[in-house]
A = this chain, B = another copy of it.
């Protein structure tokens, strides 16, 4: 099956989707020793970068709603990676990584980094740098 034709070759959304599906599958594989999905590790990373954040904020950052964010936090709490601490606003939870969560996340991050590198090795070093920079620019210029 080819992707010949100007539509497919030059469709940003389509190429992005195919690449992301492949990257997700590779990440899932790389994370299999930890028995956790890439999406849940993303949540851990977000909490690490934004200690004390609320579940609603976490959901916004991950593009899911409050109810879905809650399920993710339930899971991470069940694994002992995240704690719900009390916050200034008693309605909200302040999310924090546990010591175990921090340690495990470090190992997961190393596994994902190796996985990323295997993909980026298809490009030259300067191309890889440019790609990451452009993707990040697209995201933050929103």
Residues of A within 8 A of B (CB): 1-5, 7-27, 38-39, 42, 45-46, 48-50, 53, 57-58, 60-61, 63, 109, 112-113, 115-116, 119-120, 122-123, 127, 130-132, 134-139, 141-142
User: For the complex, what is the distance from the CA of A5 to the CA of B38, rounded to whole Å?
Assistant: 17
Contacts beyond the supplied A13-B23, A13-B112, A122-B142: 17 A-B pairs with Cβ under 8 Å:
A1-B46, A3-B46, A7-B45, A7-B109, A8-B49, A11-B45, A11-B116, A12-B116, A12-B119, A12-B132, A14-B45, A16-B19, A19-B139, A20-B20, A122-B137, A131-B135, A131-B138
A45 in contact with B5 given A17-B24, A135-B15 (CB within 8 Å): yes
Q: Give the Cβ gap from A63 to chain B, nearest Cβ, in Å.
A: 5
Please state the number of chain copies in the assembly: 2
Residue from A1, A57, A113, A132 with most neighbouring chain B CB atoms (10 Å):
A1
